[in-house]
Structure 1
């Protein structure tokens, strides 16, 4: 029946409700509430046998969240992307760069004069 109808999607005809008696008893759980720096609260269930983590990624915004509502973890700082040239400039001064460039150019010119083929 395209475009409508009363078909229940995702179930077979004749299948009954899947309740707790079919699945068995649920394991005992504890709920833990996490708070992120943007004010989101997320309540998650963990097994009572498990030790819940102290930090969790907020499912709403992805920021780190902790169980301490008064002191949520700060947003992570990300390092700004640097180009290869920026890293080179950190290691070399302008004078050193110019000297290396002159040396490389002289080497190429001397190889050209000697008849070497450069690709």
Structure 2
């Protein structure tokens, strides 16, 4: 049986010889951090170029690459 200590918030248990592990507190990640975990820099550049090309084509300001 485990519970959260009302004083410190850490997990507690009945076995003093084998206490529960403290929870790992991972920092908040932004959407961009999750995307960077899944994509390489090259993939990110390719996606950005594609999105910018689509946006420029919609606006009529497409730039011709050399």
TM-score (norm: length of structure 2): 0.74
Rounded to whole Å, the distance in 1 between the matches of 2:56 and 2:4 is 58
In the alignment, structure 2 segments of 5+ residues that lack a partner are 62-66
Task: Pick the structure with more helix per residue.
Answer: 2
Residues 64-90 of structure 1 show CA distances to partners (whole Å, capped at 9, x for unaligned) of: 111112222121112222111111111
Q: How many residues align?
A: 61
Which structure: larger Rg?
1
Rounded to whole Å, the distance in 1 between the matches of 2:54 and 2:2 is 57
Residues 2-60 of structure 1 show CA distances to partners (whole Å, capped at 9, x for unaligned) of: xxxxxxxxxxxxxxxxxxxxxxxxxxxxxxxxxxxxxxxxxxxxxxxxxxxx2222222
SS in 2 for 1:108: helix
TM-score (norm: length of structure 1): 0.45
